[in-house]
A and B are shown apart, each in its own frame.
Chain A
Amino acid sequence: MSLLCFAPQAFGQSKALAQGRTETVKAKLGGTVEVRIPLELREGFHVNSNTPADKTLIPLKITWKEGFLGATEVIFPKPVMEKYKFSKDLLSVFTGNFEVVTKFKVAPTAPPGPIAINGVVRYQACNDNGCQFPTNLNIAVQVMLVR
């Protein structure tokens, strides 16, 4: 078997998206809580928004693991309509640093104290020159549950 080996120069090698510093939030048992997830894109990159115009494009999506906190709504920022040299159409994207908000319902039976909620951001990033493969970013938020 023969193999070709690139020098590590290709832009697809490291993830384009990262979770920014996320504050611990306080929530009451049986109540609701709103969590802000800061997401940071590498310079020069963009990701498809949650509502790309073209059905072949992969939207940014967030899923949360089930637990004592159940996600009831995910609120995305307003997408930016950008023009890139490789497309004649404007693309619906997120760029730079942006925040996604999720509302959670807290189970009344949850134990008081700190708890972590974990989720996954599915995204597909490109720069002016090419695209990375669709990938997942694991995200986590600390919540302090109180009576």
Chain B
Amino acid sequence: MRTFLTAVALLTLAGCSSAPKVAEEPLELNIKPLAQRQVAPKFELKDANGKTVTPEEYKGRVVLLNFWATWCVPCKAEIPWFVEFDQKFKDKGFAVLGVSMDEEGWDVVKPYVTERKIGYRMVIGTEEVSTRYGGIDSLPTTFIIDREGKIAAIHAGLVSKATYQKEIEDLLGDIKIEGPKNVGSNTNTGAGELAMFRPASVRTK
């Protein structure tokens, strides 16, 4: 009886939760096969402490690279998940890196980060970085980067918390997703070399 009452209480609490419903939506897994992954484009951006941040320093870790802005309400929905993931998986070799696209820069980002107790690292994005990452023209846009520094998944727009969690767990577990063998080189080395991506999670209306 006690178990039943606990279950009822938990279900009631879950039903009363004020969290946006998107967290409960079905999985939209988007992990690319290994052969189709491309190296995350380089950048050098400053974090809140003025320290230079590059993707290279994250090699060996799975990284969730999230382009966002303070004025973007869907981005706001995801941030608590990312804070949770950062804490939950950091010892397994995971990190979140937020790239704010706010024009006003740290003046608006620092208070926002402090107010919401966002513990993961943040940088201010630039037009150039946006272009290198395919031309970020809507937010949120999130890249999941594998331990090799290659882009394993792209989500343009909001997806469920469960989707991110599953993708992170899969990549942390080094689950290999083999792709077709006739796919060309998966590294970007030369200037102007374009790699065509199409994020499966983009939904137009």
Contacts and interface: CB of A to CB of B under 8 A. Distances in A.
Contact of B193 (A2, A10, A87, A133): A2
Contacts of A56: 70-71, 108, 112
A86 B195 contact: no
Contacts of A43: 205
B198 interface: yes
Contact of A134 (B41, B71, B132): B71
B199 A130 contact: no
Prevailing SS type, chain A contact patch: loop
Nearest to A84: B73
Prevailing SS type, chain B contact patch: loop
Between A9, A44, A129, the greatest number of chain B beta carbons within 10 A of the residue's beta carbon is seen for A129
What interface size band does chain A fall in?
35 or more
A130 B142 CA distance: 12
Interface of B: 18-22, 38-39, 41-42, 69-77, 101, 103, 108, 112, 131-135, 137-141, 151, 156-158, 188-189, 191-199, 202-205
29 contacts: A1-B132, A2-B188, A3-B132, A3-B188, A3-B192, A4-B41, A4-B194, A5-B135, A6-B156, A6-B198, A6-B199, A7-B197, A9-B198, A9-B199, A10-B156, A42-B205, A86-B73, A86-B74, A87-B74, A87-B76, A126-B74, A127-B205, A129-B203, A130-B140, A131-B75, A131-B139, A132-B137, A132-B138, A133-B139
